[in-house]
Structures are given as C-alpha cells and as structure tokens.
Chains A and B, each alone.
Chain A
Amino acid sequence: MPSDPTDGLLEWLGPILQGALVTLEIALLAYAIGLGLGLVGATARLSPWRPLRALGTAYSTLVRAIPELLLIILLYYAGSQALNALLTELGGDMHIEISGFVTAVGVLAFVQGAYMTEVFRGAIQAIPKGQLEAADAYGFSRPARFYRIVLPAMLPNALPGMSNLWLILVKDTALISVIGFEELFFTAQQAAASTRDYALFYALAGALYLVMTLGSNALFARAERHVRRGQPST
C-alpha cells in the first residue's frame, strides 16, 4: 500500500484531466464524422439503386453485429497497414506512423456511422410522404429539399437516438486505451499502476466519464426542446 494516496492523486490529477480533454476531443470529432457517415449510409440504404442499398445495409448490419472492441482492434491494424501500403505504393520507402489520434477518431467514427445510419434511416422514413411531395410540388431542388424539409422534419425523430449514440460513443472511447492510445482511461491505468491505488484511480476515471455523460444529457435535453419547438407537447 502506498504511504499517502493524496500525494499520488495530486500528482496524477493534471495528466488525468488532460486525458479527459483528449477523450472529449476524440468523441466530438468521431461524432461529427459519424453523423456524416450516418447521413451517407441512410441515403444509401434508402436509395432506389439496388447495389447502393445493399452496400449501405451490409455496412450497418456487419458493423453492428461485431463487438466494438474487436472492430477497433481489427480496424486499427487494417487501417494502418492499408495506409502504409498506399504510401509505399506512392513514394517508395515512405513509412509513416499514423498518429494514434487519427486512428482513434477514424475507427470510432466508422463504428458510430453504422449505428447512426439506422437512426437516420428510421427518422427519415417517419417523415410523412406528403411533406416531401409538397416540397417537390413547390419545385425545391434536391439539396434544398434536404436542408429545408428533410433535415428539420427528421431531427425530432432522430435526436433521442443521436443522444443515445453520443453516450455510447463517450463510453466507447475507453476502448481506445486497449490499443495503447493515451486518453482518459489509459492515463488512469498508468496512474493506478504507478501508485498502486487501483480502485481510487478507476473510480476517478469513472466519475469523470459520469460527469461527461450526465452533462451531455442536459445539453441534449435542451437540443430536443429546441427541435421540437412548435410541436404539441406529449
């Protein structure tokens, strides 16, 4: 047992908070990219063109059926190998180490996009058909129809799913520690190993994740009130 747990705590508090910041950055970036992938995926799944539909379905089904941790490890190796192969192809013996940050964001976004695809698909399908027909009747172009009608009409349906996925994403960032990237949980593990105060530092990490999830719950509740403005309250 260490002599005084508060010493270790004070020493490691800075790095751990730093790790929490990195975790937030990864989560925010992966979420933004995941939103984009989800929109693309949902568009593909709802496309009238069959091969595109099959591709979208394969993406969302396969990724959702395989455990996240397994996917993260698989994509981590596949991603770095593919990129290095590409670089060798292009410029001889140019071998770069892709940064852990890019890998972490990329892998989490890829997984997130598959789940987001399903959320958006459901939300878009729930839009009354008449609204889209009305937009067409008024001569809206496809992009205008998307931004002015589809997006605002689907957001109230999609937001509960989106907030759920955000919470899952924040918690999934901890999995990145397995591939050795220094985020909140990895730093907490290092702190625990060096001070031998395991329970204390894992509890601290847990508390920080809890602050993030509870804080974002409040933000999403506000966002939901905003997108539901003008709708009858249930």
Chain B
Amino acid sequence: MDFSWLTDPFYQKALWTGFVNTLWLVAVSAVCGFALAVVFAVTRLRGPRPLAMLVTGLTTVVRGTPLLVQLFFFYDGVGRLLPEIPGVRESLVWPLLRDPFFYGALTFTLSVGAYTGEVLRGALLSVPEGELAAGRAFGLNRWQILYRLWLPRAIQMCLPTLTGELILLLKSVPLVSTIALMDLLKAANMVRDETFLVYEPLLLISGIYLALTLVLTSVMRLIEQRFPGARPAAPRRRRLLPG
C-alpha cells in the first residue's frame, strides 16, 4: 500500500473538488428531487387525469431504465441537440447547459422524484381519512390541509424509507465520473491512471463513501427522532442501511 501520492497538492485538490462536488450533487438533487416527488405524488393522487397518467408514465420509465443510460441520454444525447436549437447559445441559461454538473443534477433529481414520489404516494394514501376530515372540519383550505396535515403526516410515516432513498442517491453519484464531472471516483481514476496504483485510490474513496453513508444515516436518525410526532425513543436496533 503506497499512499505517498496523497501529499501531492495536485491530487489533494482533485480529491477535495471531487468530495465537494459529490456533496453538492447530493444536496441539490435531494432537495429538488424531494420537491419534485411531492409534486409527482400529489399529482398522481389528486391531479387531473391526463397529468396523473403522464407522471405515472414518467415514473415507470425512470424506474425501469438504468440511471447510467439516463445520464448519458441527457448529457450526451439532449446536451448535444440543445446547441443546435437557434438562440440557445446566446441565451442566459447557456452557461448552465454546458455544465456537466447540471446534467448530473437533472438526472438525479428526476430519479429521486420518481422513486421517492412512489414512496410518498404510498405514505399519503396511508394517512387516515379521518385526519383529513378533521382538517376540513376546522376550516382549513386544501393547501393548508396538504402542507400542514397531509404531507407532514405522510413524511412522518415514511422517514426511514426516505433515509434509504438518500443513501441510494449518495451511492449513485460515482456514475457522473463517466461524464466530464470531477467527483470522488473521477479523482481516484485520475490518480490511478497517473501513478499506476490501482487499489489505494479506490480503497480510499470507498472509505470516504463508507464514512459518508454512516454520517448521513446518523443525521437522518437524528431527524427521525426530532420529527414532530415521532414515536418516543423505543430502543431501535442500529442499522447501517435500511432493509
């Protein structure tokens, strides 16, 4: 095991950029993806029929195809077609459309939206009808019922599953190393190509991922305990991963 390359500032910088990009990608995709999941779930339950069918179709396609294929479709496929549309190159969003980070975040957001949307839909369905009726009896309007009652209750029910989805998101980030985006795996591959050390860089970032998984699960566990209406601490078995 030879870790002397770690002292090289060039590799340090690459690893740090990869680390930061990984965290940013997870944060952006988790937040935007969750918002999208709420929209998807509510549309499928209460939206107009054509829209609900559209969301169902989109969910099926996203969940039925490999994430890597989706990433290539957006980055290599759509990303190459966009500049040919007249006016796109001059528009304000062009710098964004050239950035591989955008395509990574877009793909992951859509994926989180589809998978988490399904989880959320199930949770929304399992909120007792009587609670929503109680909201109506108190004179809450539809939006108030949704964001003060229905959604919080559903999230409370599926929080452990959401933790699992977040870990899955973290674990799909290395896929972006295949497009021109510096993440941890891309940094490790760079070290590997230049120093001919195969295991050291890969094992290092495996360790980083392991640590990130542990940190994320503990943070989510804390949120689960703090979430209003969480069941008071029944001793839980510690689990690294759901399932």
A residues near B (Cβ < 8 Å) are 1, 61-62, 64-71, 73-74, 77-78, 81, 115, 118-119, 122, 161, 167, 171-175, 177-178, 185, 188-189, 192, 198-200, 202-203, 205-206, 209-210, 213-214
Instruction: Please give the residue numbers on chain B whose beta carbons come within 8 Å of chain A beta carbons, in ascending order.
Output: 60-61, 63-70, 72-73, 76-78, 80-81, 84, 170-175, 177-178, 185, 198-199, 202-203, 205-206, 209-210, 213-214, 240-241, 243
Task: Find the B residue at minimum CB distance from A65.
Answer: B213
Are B69 and A74 in contact, CB atoms less than 8 angstroms apart?
no
- Least CB distance from A178 to B in Å reads 6
A70 / chain B contacts, CB cutoff of 8 Å: 174, 185, 202, 205-206, 209
Contact of B69 among A66, A118, A205 (CB under 8 A): A205
**What is the CA–CA distance of A69 and B76 in the complex, to the nearest angstrom?**
19
A110 to B174, CA, bound (A): 19
Inter-subunit contact A202/B205 (CB<8 Å) = no
Which residues from B are CB-within-8-Å of A172? 66
On whether the beta carbons of B199 and A214 are closer than 8 Å, the reply is: no
Residue of B nearest to A201 (CB): B77
- Contact between A65 and B209, CB atoms less than 8 A apart: yes
A65 lies within 8 A of B65 (CB): no
- Please report the C-alpha to C-alpha distance between residue A64 and residue B217 in the assembled complex, in whole angstroms: 13
Q: A73-B202, A209-B69 are in contact. List 11 more A-B contacts (CB 8 A).
A: A65-B241, A67-B172, A71-B206, A77-B198, A171-B66, A177-B68, A178-B68, A199-B73, A202-B77, A206-B69, A206-B73
27 intermolecular pairs with C-beta atoms under 8 Å apart? A64-B241, A65-B209, A67-B170, A67-B209, A74-B202, A74-B203, A174-B66, A174-B69, A175-B66, A177-B68, A178-B178, A192-B76, A198-B72, A198-B80, A199-B73, A199-B78, A199-B80, A200-B77, A202-B76, A202-B77, A206-B70, A206-B73, A209-B65, A209-B69, A210-B60, A214-B60, A214-B64
Say whether chain A's binding surface is mostly helix, strand, loop, or mixed: helix
Contact A65:B66 (CB < 8 A) given known A70-B185, A77-B198, A77-B199: no
B184 to chain A, nearest CB (A): 8
Chain B residues, Cβ within 8 Å of A68: 171
Report yes or no: B81 in contact with A81, Cβ–Cβ below 8 A.
no
Please name all residues of chain B whose beta carbon is closer than 8 Å to the beta carbon of A119 when the two chains form the complex: 243
Q: How many angstroms from the CA of A78 to the CA of B200 in the assembled complex?
A: 12
Expressed in whole angstroms, the Cα–Cα distance for A115 and B243 within the complex equals 9
Contact B206 A66 (CB under 8 A): yes
Across the two chains, which residue of chain A brings its CB closest to B81?
Answer: A199
Contacts of B205 in A (CB 8 A): 70
- Residue in A74, A115, A172 whose Cβ sees the most chain B Cβ within 10 Å: A74
Q: A193's closest neighbor in chain B, by CB?
A: B76
A66 to chain B, nearest CB (A): 5
Chain A residues within 8 Å of B241, by CB = 61, 64-65
Nearest to A119 among chain B residues (CB) is: B243
- What residue in chain A is nearest B217 (Cβ atoms)? A65
Name which residue of chain A comes closest to B212, CB basis: A65
Query: How far, in angstroms, from A234 to B243 measured CA to CA in the complex?
Result: 22
Write out the residue numbers on chain A whose beta carbons fall within 8 Å of the beta carbon of B60. 210, 214
Q: Name the 3 nearest CB pairs between A and B, nearest first.
A: A199-B77, A174-B66, A202-B73
- Which of the residues A178, A203, A210 comes within 8 Å of B73, measured between beta carbons? A203
Give complex CA distance A45, B31 in Å: 36
Minimal Cβ-Cβ distance residue in B for A208: B65
Do A209 and B203 touch (CB < 8 A)? no
Query: Are A66 and B80 within 8 A (Cβ)?
Result: no
Query: Taking the nearest CB of chain B, how far is it from the CB of A58, in angstroms?
Result: 11
